[in-house]
């Protein structure tokens, strides 16, 4: 994986997961917990997220072949999904949806380990992040070094999430509601551009494919 590809992957994953945007949800899920308990929840959420995303890096291509879905089709559909997520971020819909997911999970009193559900799944390792890692894996040269680089990238992003959650209370006070909204919208614009690029890559592959004559 080249340096540029690594940076693109890093930005894509951080923007897709949006750890800063998850701060209000994290604080809500851990309301009443001690600092040690919050640290434990943040660590477990990061580990579960890393495990899930790593699985899709290693098995994503196999799943696509098993479903008989071409990479071009997945790039287009994945790009459209990421674009929808960016739309939610820009127009302040994503934070509301994530908070509703957390409230429902806690309200049903079925979730004992909020680190796994709903924090890791589906808020961190959700459809957008899973789609992103499969798309990033499809862009690599399928070498062992490329996969190791992508796994290292995921580890770096989950570490960022862990550190953000540790400082969630201070960051929430520092950014405030306005700062959080502005940052989320800026990241949404960046994600929309990356999503459109994925769609363009898919369309380019489709239209550059040789036409097989009938008969």
Q: What distance in Å separates the CA atoms of residue 39 and residue 60, rounded to the nearest whole number?
A: 31
Q: Quote the pLDDT of residue 48.
A: 95
For the record, the structure tokens of 7 come out as 């940076």
Q: What is the pLDDT of residue 110?
A: 42
Q: What percent of the chain has pLDDT over 90?
A: 26
What is the per-residue pLDDT across 156-187, written as a single tens digit (0 to 9) for each? 999 999 999 999 989 888 877 777 777 778 87
Of 51 and 112, the structure prediction assigns the larger pLDDT to 51
Largest Cα separation within the chain, whole Å, is 71
The two tokens of residue 164 are 């953000």
* Chain segment 7-35, per-residue pLDDT in tens: 888 989 999 998 988 988 898 888 878 88
Per-residue confidence at 100, pLDDT binned at 50, 70, 90? low
């Amino acid at each position: 994986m080249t340096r540029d590809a690594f940076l693109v992957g890093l930005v894509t994953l951080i923007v897709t997961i949006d750890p800063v945007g998850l701060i209000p949800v994290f604080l809500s899920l851990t309301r009443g917990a001690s600092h040690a308990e919050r640290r434990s929840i943040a660590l477990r959420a990061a580990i579960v997220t890393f495990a899930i995303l790593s699985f899709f890096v290693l098995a994503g291509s196999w799943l696509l072949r098993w479903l008989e879905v071409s990479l071009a089709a997945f790039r287009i559909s994945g790009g459209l999904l990421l674009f929808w997520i960016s739309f939610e971020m820009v127009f302040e819909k994503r934070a509301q949806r994530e908070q509703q997911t957390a409230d429902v999970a806690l309200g049903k009193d079925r979730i004992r380990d909020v680190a796994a559900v709903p924090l890791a799944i589906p808020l961190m390792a959700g459809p957008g992040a899973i789609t992103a890692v499969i798309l990033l894996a499809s862009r690599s040269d399928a070498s062992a070094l490329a996969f190791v680089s992508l796994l290292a990238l995921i580890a770096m992003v989950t570490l960022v999430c862990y550190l953000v959650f540790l400082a969630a209370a201070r960051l929430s006070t520092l950014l405030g509601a306005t700062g959080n909204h502005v940052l989320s919208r800026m990241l949404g614009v960046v994600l929309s551009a990356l999503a459109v690029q994925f769609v363009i890559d898919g369309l380019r592959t489709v239209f550059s494919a040789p036409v097989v004559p009938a008969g």
